[in-house]
Amino acid sequence: MTTKEKGITAKEVAELRQRTGAGMMDCKAALQETSGDMDAAIELLRKKGVMKAEKRGGRETREGLIGSYIHHNGKIGVLVEVNCETDFVARNDDFKAMVKSIAEHIAAANPLAVDKDQIPAEKVESEKRIYTEQVKESGKPANMVDKIVAGKLEAFYKENCLLSQPWVRDDKKTIGDLVKEISAKTGENVQVRRFSRLQIGE
C-alpha cells in the first residue's frame, strides 16, 4: 500500500459517499487520485458521473414523475414529465427536488420545447427567414450570410430550449446539467420528456 493510500480514512470515504452518492470503491479511488482533497474528489466524481450518464442515454425510461408548479399569483401553472428507469429513483428525494426545480424554471423562463428537436419546423423556418433578412439588410457579405444565420439559430435554440437554458436559480448550470447530475448520482438514464405551461390570457 502506498503512503497516499494509507492517508485515506474510512471516515473520509464515508463522507464523500454521503456527499456524492457514489459507490465506496469509487469514492476511495477518487480520494486516492486527489491525495485526500475532498473538494477535488467531489469534482472528479462529478465529471466521471456525467460521462457515465451520457453513456446511459439509450437505456429505457419507463418510470418517473409528473411534477407541477403553480405560481403564487395563480396566473402561471406548469406540468412536467421527467422519466427514469426505476420507481426506486422516482421516489428519491433528490429526483423529486430536481423535478420541482424544473417545473419552477419552466414557469419563470417560458421555454418553447425540451430541446431543439421538439421545436416545430415551421417555427425554425420562420426564425431562419427573419435572421436571413436581418443579416442581408445589415450589409454583410453574401458569403457570410449562411454562417451568421446558423449562429443566430444556435443562439435561438439556447435561449428557447429547456435543456440548454441557464437555470434560473444558478445561471452557471443549465437545466441539462441538472438532469446529468441526477443521472450521475442515481446511476440511471434520466430524461425530461415533455411539459405544458399555462398562463392566464395566453
The label of the residue with cell 425530461 reads 192
> Domain spanning 120-159 has what CATH number?
1.10.286
Q: What pLDDT score was predicted for residue 186?
A: 87
Q: What pLDDT score was predicted for residue 15?
A: 86
Q: What pLDDT score was predicted for residue 58?
A: 58
Please name the residues in contact with 91: beta carbons below 8 A apart, sequence gap of 6 or more: none
Q: How far apart, in whole angstroms, are the C-alpha atoms of residue 18 and residue 24?
A: 10
pLDDT (tens, 9 = 90+) of the chain, 202 residues, equals: 333 445 788 889 888 877 776 777 888 888 999 988 998 988 888 777 654 555 555 566 679 999 999 998 899 999 999 999 989 999 999 999 999 999 999 999 999 999 988 898 899 999 999 998 888 888 888 888 889 989 999 999 999 999 999 999 999 999 999 999 999 888 888 999 999 999 998 7
Whether residue 82 contacts residue 190, with contact meaning beta carbons closer than 8 Å, is answered with: yes
CATH ID of 3-57, from 4.10.640.10, 1.10.8.10, 1.10.540.10, 3.30.2130.10: 1.10.8.10
- In this prediction the pTM is 0.66
The C-alpha cell at 9 is 480514512
CATH topology of domain 61-115+161-199: Tetrahydropterin Synthase; Chain A (3.30.479)
Domain boundaries defined on the chain: 3-57, 61-115+161-199, 120-159
Q: Which residues sit opposite 63 in a β-bridge?
A: 84
Please name the residues in contact with 56: beta carbons below 8 A apart, sequence gap of 6 or more: 183, 187, 188, 189
Whether residue 104 contacts residue 168, with contact meaning beta carbons closer than 8 Å, is answered with: yes
pLDDT digits (tens, 9 = 90+) for 29-55: 889 999 889 989 888 887 776 545 555
Please name the residues in contact with 59: beta carbons below 8 A apart, sequence gap of 6 or more: 85, 188, 189
Q: How far apart, in whole angstroms, are the C-alpha atoms of residue 67 and residue 73?
A: 19
Closest CA to 95 of 194, 195, 184, 27: 184
Task: Read off the DSSP letter of residue 117.
Answer: G
pLDDT digits (tens, 9 = 90+) for 120-148: 889 999 999 999 888 888 888 888 888 99
User: Same fold for the domain at 61-115+161-199 and the one at 120-159?
Assistant: no
